Amino acid sequence: AIAENGGLFYSSDNEAPIALTPIPNLSAHRQQLADIFQKLQIEFPQICESQDNLFRITDWTFDVRGLSLDQIKKLSKRCCELGWGFTYSNVQCHIKPLEQDKATGLLQVLRQYFPQQTLEQVVTIGDSPNDESLFNSNYFPISVGVANALEYANQLKHQPAYMTTASEAEGFCELARAILKFVSSI
């Protein structure tokens, strides 16, 4: 599994996550993220650190609840000005290294661990702006958005090639059933 917006890879062969983003000093990295978050809190005092942030390694999360799209855009711009990347989902905002995204992480994992797989054999799925890089048809010709991704359509530069009719987990199950049906027919 790829986690933290492309920052980590959890292999079935290894219990510990594999860092996909080079972080020479984890303590210093986490402190830098904390400092950026504190700077953002000065301008956006309503933002609150997410409960799972304590367990994160490569990114810093805070709740998206209560933020307008305009505020999210300002947060993104501010992170960029400070030399950091930013993305968000329907649950959290993420401060992350500039070069870190899900597509970059997935492409690295495919090259290093699954070199026999072609990009035409890969199906990506997502539901939020933090999944947008997985919808880039230059890399992933078979990308799927679950139905609730439609609410972000006008905010995404890259659109999924296909959409499920169901939202969230049911949308994922819809895709899984379609894949299983296809595989059993060949």
Residue 186 has pLDDT above 90, yes or no: no
Q: Which helix (H) or strand (E) holds 172?
A: helix 168-185
Residue 90 counted as domain residue: yes
**Rounded CA separation 17/57 (Å):** 10
- Domain hosting residue 157, numbered range: 118-185
Largest CA distance in the chain: 58
**Rounded CA separation 34/22 (Å):** 18
Residue 102 counted as domain residue: no
Two structure tokens written together for 13: 């062969």
Residue 15 has pLDDT above 90, yes or no: no
C-alpha 148 chain-centroid distance: 16
For the segment 131-184, what is each residue's pLDDT rounded down to a tens digit? 999 999 999 999 999 999 999 999 999 999 999 999 999 999 999 999 999 999
Pair 75, 133 in one domain: no
Across 38-106, the runs of DSSP E, i.e. the strands, are 60-63, 85-88, 92-96
For the segment 59-94, what is each residue's pLDDT rounded down to a tens digit? 999 999 999 999 999 999 999 999 999 999 999 999
For the segment 31-54, what is each residue's pLDDT rounded down to a tens digit? 999 999 999 999 999 999 999 999
For the segment 86-104, what is each residue's pLDDT rounded down to a tens digit? 999 999 999 999 999 999 9
**Rounded CA separation 17/52 (Å):** 16
Quote the pLDDT of residue 2: 92
Pair 76, 14 in one domain: yes
Quote the pLDDT of residue 103: 98
Residue 101 counted as domain residue: no
Residue 86 counted as domain residue: yes
Quote the pLDDT of residue 105: 98
Pair 140, 90 in one domain: no
**29: CATH:** 3.90.1070.10
Which candidate, 163, 161, 108, places its Cα nearest to that of 138? Answer: 161
Tally of domains in the chain: 2
Pair 75, 9 in one domain: yes
